[in-house]
Structure 1
């Protein structure tokens, strides 16, 4: 089956009317308890949702993001049919240690965390900077990583507009949260989706992760800029032989949409979904379609 045909099938599945699944667990991201496990000298904080059987889907988070920055509309719906794991990497949220300032260390720590949970095989969902870690894990550990979703991300050396868009986001007067600008287009539909997203991510009121401060932002910024500014001539992409779903918005201003298209072309077994009128957080704006696409991709 050609890449183009696979992508068309995924888009058809995403926008078709699908009867919702019955949740196999009553817990939701908004109230599921935080757990801890030690690995690689770090006490990782994490949360698990969904059934206890099946291939776990491990979420890898964006620049400065904690577990509470994930969209419950994505996490909870995916957890209806598969085990889902969200966690904080070294030095972030309720995880201790000095925050890593390079993707290599983040990858090593993520691998240690997954190993500590005893999983023999996992699927990965890497969003933004988390997509860098997902690529490294898939390339380095082909027996562990089954399938990969790369959302709103790019390849090593693919470039970034991090400082520019952060400056624009924080320069706005009376802006309650920069993500309404960073993640969403500034059309009426985009602004509406941004407001709805923010109401969902702030739904958890107890046992929330502490917000990321300057130390985390500086370390993550260094890691993101160095990784996207240091080409490896597609070496990492060429080492990934697992099926990959690449998802992005029509106008990702932080990690350019063109980077996702390049990944799709360079990966051996990739499928591509582009969402209209959308920015860096297209998977949150089109959460229902994204979940349907992801379930189809992981199940087939």
Structure 2
């Protein structure tokens, strides 16, 4: 009989202006082949309700904690990409009893320890002007390096544009405000108190959250693993879905 290894539930948190429907299917399908996956939409986006009120990262982490309890899981592993990685860090710090392991993708430590994107990239990231197709092309140029971004636009531009057309500019502004507050904070040193084992992974060509942030996280989190994917952009999980899923599955199965 073939041998297999399984690991506990994995809660998956997406990034800025992204919903649970936006994940690369091959990446998620491979993760889901090992065990249960919970794809969560953050407050105000996708299938989640929106109170229209401002929020911060701690509130999003509290939301996530309530979901875990509502689903009656004792503990889960948590994967967070970009903004989702901010939420995952605070969840593990503020609700350690709920978190088994952490997987942090394309994300950064809180406050002054983070290396921010260039002003040009940050302006493009928050720009909601233009048609949905113009927004889609701009977004993909930030998520993927060079010619790959245009190639993906030619294949999937209509899908990305349709998703952008459904987004609320006000919700994006509130998410950006929460991220800006995260970067103004000075509590990155709390990462040294994390008890959950952590895997930190990044693409070497990430211009949204530069790869140096992964090293800063690994230096701050006791015993954290580091993986760098050569040539990967901010959405490197769509460039390397199978190698990344294999790495994550191996880490979670330990």
TM-score w.r.t. the length of structure 1 is: 0.73
> 3-state DSSP class of the match of 2:237?
helix
Distance 1:233 1:152, change over 3 A: closer
C-alpha distance in 2, partners of 1:148/1:228?
20
Is it true that 1:183 corresponds to 2:183 in the alignment?
A: no
- Structure 2 unaligned residues grouped into runs of 5+: none
- Counterpart residue number, 1:91: 44
Q: Deviations over 1:80-111 (max 9, x none)?
A: 11100112122112211325531011111111
C-alpha distance in 2, partners of 1:293/1:54?
13
> 3-state DSSP class of the match of 2:96?
coil
Aligned counterpart for 1:160 among listed residues 116, 119, 133: 116
- Counterpart residue number, 1:281: 235
Contact 1:241/1:269 (<8 A) preserved? no
Matches within 5 A, 1:123-202: 123-157=77-111, 158-161=114-117, 164-168=120-124, 175=134, 177=136, 178-186=138-146, 188-189=147-148, 191-192=150-151, 194-195=152-153, 198=156, 202=159
> 3-state DSSP class of the match of 1:215?
helix
Distance 1:191 1:243, change over 3 A: farther
Q: Deviations over 1:137-180 (max 9, x none)?
A: 11122221111100000010114328631544669997461332
> 3-state DSSP class of the match of 1:85?
strand
Aligned counterpart for 2:26 among listed residues 73, 76, 84: 73
* CA-atom RMSD in angstroms: 2.9
Deviation at 1:219, TM superposition (A): 0.3
- Counterpart residue number, 1:40: none
Distance 1:175 1:214, change over 3 A: closer
Contact 2:203/2:233 (<8 A) preserved? yes
Contact 1:66/1:211 (<8 A) preserved? no
TM-score w.r.t. the length of structure 2 is: 0.85
Matches within 5 A, 1:1-300: 55-98=8-51, 100-157=54-111, 158-161=114-117, 164-168=120-124, 175=134, 177=136, 178-186=138-146, 188-189=147-148, 191-192=150-151, 194-195=152-153, 198=156, 202=159, 211-235=166-190, 237-300=191-254
Deviation at 1:272, TM superposition (A): 0.5
- Structure 1 unaligned residues grouped into runs of 5+: 1-18, 22-52
Deviation at 1:291, TM superposition (A): 0.5
Farther off after superposition, 167-176 or 220-229 = 167-176
By percentage of residues, which structure has more helix? 2
Contact 1:185/1:277 (<8 A) preserved? yes
> 3-state DSSP class of the match of 2:44?
coil
Contact 1:249/1:277 (<8 A) preserved? yes
Deviation at 1:209, TM superposition (A): 10
Number of residue-to-residue matches in the alignment: 243
Contact 1:249/1:279 (<8 A) preserved? yes
